[in-house]
Amino acid sequence: MGNLFWKGKQESSKYIEQLKTKNPVFLQLIESISPPMSEKNNGDWLNLLIWGDAKFVLHSLLDDFKGKIKLIYIDPPFGTGGEFNYKIQIGDGDASKNSSKWIRKAAYNDSWEHGLDSYLSFIYERLLLMKDLLSPEGSIYIHLDWHVGHYIKVMMDEIYGENNFRNEIIWSYPAASAQTKRFFVRSFDVILFYTKSDVYTFNDDKNIYMEYSDRVKNALSKDSNGTFYFRGGSHDGKKLSQKVYIENEGVFPRDVWMDIPYIRANTLEYQGFSTQKPERLLRRIILASTRENDLIADFFCGSGTTIAVAEKLNRRWIGCDMSKNAIHIMKKRIMDVKNSNDLQDWKKKYNILPNEFKILSLESNSENYWFPVEFISKKVRSHLSDQENRTPECKIILNKNKNAVTLKIIDYIIPYNHCISPEIEENITTFSDWIDYWSIDFDYSVQCKFRTMWASYRTPKRRELKLISDPYIYEQPGPHELMIKVVDICGIETNKKLTINIS
């Protein structure tokens, strides 16, 4: 078997071995999200959404999760050298119908200081750590394209063993437009499927099957006994036909997947990410390689497709991304999962509340924010240190007869109003247009961190924001601390603490 060599490989290998001997960076709790009444129960397990560099998150998880993750799916950078964006939407308007109501913001930069060598070291270090976390019966799927797929195939043969290679899956999708006529249009990604050993989970599940071709579907009929086709033949020159009943209305998947469309802006699952992957793609992978309550992880979570599908398929999950904005988008996506597509009947809504989950952060993460350059007028365009806090103004409404408290946001003041670009400013018609999300912990304590007990937020498809909370009833008299969390459209978070006395 041939191995792949690049400048920095030996240093990366030694670095990971040394890293494993050191104490990991501590994962600290930022927030817990508790749906009012979830229909599901994961026992003592709480799903985890982690903000941080995957390398250090992986190292931090080794003590508790070594050999316990049944499936890892990752959609890492592809080494393209480009910049990828997501949409920031403004106010109540539908951005898909009004382009002036949104702007693009960089999600991540896929450029590498030392070119391919830097990229290969980056992915190699993380793949080595992922192998330690993967169950002996586990599987790993790596989503790539033509840029580096061939390099990572050789790398994975070395890390996992060429005998544990299962498939190179081709996800073929129609090209949005032909950008060139100097070569054939590129319109597929590759997904490398490896297992950790020769004993692994792989399910013959009817829900992963591909549809029959139109030719086959036209030949099928139904009667009271089910779906059938006629099998022809002859005997002694006489034509014969026989009904053959089928159990599955489709074929077991081949390694070329042409039946899963890419994400369009007019679909319910669209999150505004330029690299977002379809839920039906992850549905097939998760159903094939796991069972209910198995643990799934995605360490380049992006818009959160993997964890959203895991949630809906009753799998436990760990999601990770180094972008705080991505964590915020994923948090909203899981909180709003009941309004997403049902994976069994795509035309219906899922309509089930999520399990409780926690948001963790690497202790080393910085909370310093920068005012996004996309919002700044060209006259003063530069990064501005955001030292001055935003200020949400709130009104407490107390129903003394019921000890019920309702909160109302009546204003939201941001610094640097004088720096806002005219294009943004003309679309801000009220203070609430600045607000993307706000939530309340009605019984806040420093020890328990922030618990989301009520929230209102905007999604790409549901733009209305409630400015008045649902009432919360206090059972115990005396002083109570409330904490309000506001995240604005710049992705900047502000907390405000209030105290109320219940008689």
Most confident listed range (63-77, 180-194, 422-436): 63-77
Give the lowest-confidence range in 260-274, 315-329, 375-389, 391-405.
Answer: 375-389
Q: What is the pLDDT of residue 38?
A: 58
Tokens of 368: 């310093």
Over residues 381-385, the mean pLDDT reads: 51
The string over 184-203, giving b where at least 16 C-beta atoms fall within 10 Å of a residue's C-beta and e elsewhere, is eeeeebbbbbbbbeeebbee
Q: What is the pLDDT of residue 346?
A: 93
Euclidean distance between CA atoms 143 and 162, whole angstroms: 18
Most confident listed range (133-142, 228-237, 398-407, 458-467): 133-142
Tens of pLDDT, residue by residue over 25-81, are: 999 999 999 876 555 666 789 999 999 999 999 999 999 999 999 999 999 988 777
Q: What is the pLDDT of residue 219?
A: 78
Give the model's confidence band at 444: pLDDT under 50 very low, under 70 low, under 90 confident, else very high. Answer: very high
Q: What is the pLDDT of residue 389?
A: 60
Tokens of 119: 């990229």
Q: How many residues does the chain have?
A: 503
Q: What is the pLDDT of residue 157?
A: 97
Q: What is the pLDDT of residue 447?
A: 82
Give the model's confidence band at 491: pLDDT under 50 very low, under 70 low, under 90 confident, else very high. Answer: confident
Tokens of 346: 């795509």
Find the helix or strand (DSSP H, E) in which 239 lies: strand 238-245
Per-residue pLDDT for 446 more than 90?
A: no
Give the model's confidence band at 248: pLDDT under 50 very low, under 70 low, under 90 confident, else very high. Answer: confident
Per-residue pLDDT for 378 more than 70?
A: no
Task: Tell which residue, 174, 120, 125, 107, has the closest CA to residue 148.
Answer: 120
Give the model's confidence band at 492: pLDDT under 50 very low, under 70 low, under 90 confident, else very high. Answer: confident
φ/ψ of 335, rounded to 5, equals -60, -30
Per-residue pLDDT for 2 more than 90?
A: no
How many other CB atoms are found less than 10 A from the CB of residue 453? 21
How many other CB atoms are found less than 10 A from the CB of residue 270? 17
Give the model's confidence band at 182: pLDDT under 50 very low, under 70 low, under 90 confident, else very high. Answer: confident
Q: What is the DSSP string of 384-432?
A: -B--SPPEEEEEEEEETTTTEEEEEEEEEE-S-GGGB-HHHHTT--SGG
The rounded mean pLDDT for the chain is 87
Euclidean distance between CA atoms 425 and 413, whole angstroms: 14
Over residues 245-253, the mean pLDDT reads: 84
Q: What is the pLDDT of residue 80?
A: 72
- In angstroms, what CA-CA distances link 328 with 28, 123, 321, 357, 390? 17, 24, 10, 13, 18
Give the model's confidence band at 399: pLDDT under 50 very low, under 70 low, under 90 confident, else very high. Answer: confident
Q: Tokens 């006395």 map to which residue?
A: 501
Which residues 6+ apart lie within 8 Å of 334 measured at CB?
A: 33, 47, 49, 304, 307, 308, 311, 354, 357
Euclidean distance between CA atoms 130 and 61, whole angstroms: 10
Per-residue pLDDT for 97 more than 70?
A: no
Helix residue ranges, H only, 236-379: 279-289, 305-312, 324-335
Whether residue 455 contacts residue 335, with contact meaning beta carbons closer than 8 Å, is answered with yes
Give the lowest-confidence range in 56-65, 103-112, 308-317, 347-356.
Answer: 103-112
Give the model's confidence band at 129: pLDDT under 50 very low, under 70 low, under 90 confident, else very high. Answer: very high
Over residues 460-464, the mean pLDDT reads: 90
Burial of residue 64 (number of CB atoms within 10 Å: 0-12, 13-18, 19+): exposed
Most confident listed range (52-66, 204-218, 371-385, 432-446): 52-66
- In angstroms, what CA-CA distances link 120 with 16, 80, 147, 162, 298? 14, 13, 12, 19, 19
Q: What is the pLDDT of residue 49?
A: 98
Over residues 142-154, the mean pLDDT reads: 95
Task: Tell which residue, 351, 210, 340, has the closest CA to residue 288.
Answer: 210
pTM for this predicted structure: 0.90
Q: What residue ranges define each of the domains in the chain, with the CATH number in brackets?
A: 28-208+253-362 (3.40.50.150), 214-245 (no CATH), 373-502 (2.60.40.10)
Give the bridge partners for 32, in sequence order. Answer: 358, 451
Per-residue pLDDT for 233 more than 90?
A: no
Q: What is the pLDDT of residue 255?
A: 96
Tokens of 359: 């948001």
Task: Please give the radius of gyration of the chain, using alpha carbons only, rounded to the nearest integer.
Answer: 26
Per-residue pLDDT for 21 more than 70?
A: yes
| DSSP state at residue 460 | S
Q: What is the pLDDT of residue 221?
A: 81
Euclidean distance between CA atoms 478 and 33, whole angstroms: 25
Give the lowest-confidence range in 12-16, 76-80, 367-371, 480-484.
Answer: 367-371
Q: What is the pLDDT of residue 116?
A: 92
Tokens of 63: 């003590």
Find the helix or strand (DSSP H, E) in which 13 lies: helix 9-20
How much of the chain exceeds pLDDT 90, in percent? 58
